[in-house]
């Protein structure tokens, strides 16, 4: 399975600022996903990022708030813009196994724990 790293692992930010989270994969993958996991809740898909095209956002998430870049097949960033305390959460990136993508099994990075004061 792919090895996925995320930076930063955690951060504490002030209200109104923005944070960019990086996701690096050790192999080329077509589809990358960004999730949010709030305390005691399930994973919620924010958007799907394919290389060379605009990210596809889920209902309740907009590009102005969560801009995503996907410059190549091994890297993506998620920016949380104009943050409020409600954005405090764990943000996770995931990929589909490059050798078995048809099965939709996803492999996750370690997550970024964000606290907004």
Partner 1 sequence: EDQVTQSPEALRLQEGESSSLNCSYTVSGLRGLFWYRQDPGKGPEFLFTLYSAGEEKEKERLKATLTKKESFLHITAPKPEDSATYLCAVQEGYQKVTFGTGTKLQVIP
Among 25, 80, 83, 92, binds partner 1 (CB under 8 A): 92
Shortest Cβ distance from residue 117 to partner 1 (Å)? 20
CA angle 11, 39, 62 (to 5 degrees): 70
Among 22, 43, 81, 98, binds partner 1 (CB under 8 A): 43
Determine if 1 is a binding residue for partner 1 (CB under 8 A): yes
Residue closest to 32 by CA, chosen among 82, 78, 67: 78
**For residues 54 and 105, which CB has a smaller minimum distance to partner 1 in the complex?**
105
CB closer to partner 1 out of 48 and 88: 48
**Strands, DSSP E only, in 56-111?**
56-57, 68-72, 75-80, 89-96, 106-108
Residue of the chain from 61, 65, 69, 111 that contacts partner 1 (CB under 8 A): 111
User: Looking up tokens 């399975």, which residue turns up?
Assistant: 1
Rounded distance between C-alpha atoms, residue 6 and residue 17, angstroms: 20
* Interacting residues toward partner 1 by CB under 8 A: 1, 4, 40-45, 48, 58, 92, 94, 103-111, 113
């Amino acid at each position: 399975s792919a090895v996925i790293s995320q930076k930063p692992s955690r951060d504490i930010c002030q209200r109104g600022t923005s944070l960019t989270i990086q996701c690096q994969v050790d192999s080329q993958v077509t589809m990358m996903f960004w999730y949010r996991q709030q305390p005691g809740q399930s994973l919620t898909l924010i958007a799907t990022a394919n290389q060379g095209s605009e990210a596809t956002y889920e209902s309740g998430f907009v590009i102005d708030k969560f801009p995503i870049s996907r410059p190549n097949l091994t890297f993506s960033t998620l920016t949380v813009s104009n943050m409020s305390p409600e954005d405090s959460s764990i943000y996770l990136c995931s990929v589909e196994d490059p050798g078995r993508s048809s099965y939709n099994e996803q492999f996750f990075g370690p997550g970024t724990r964000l606290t907004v004061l």
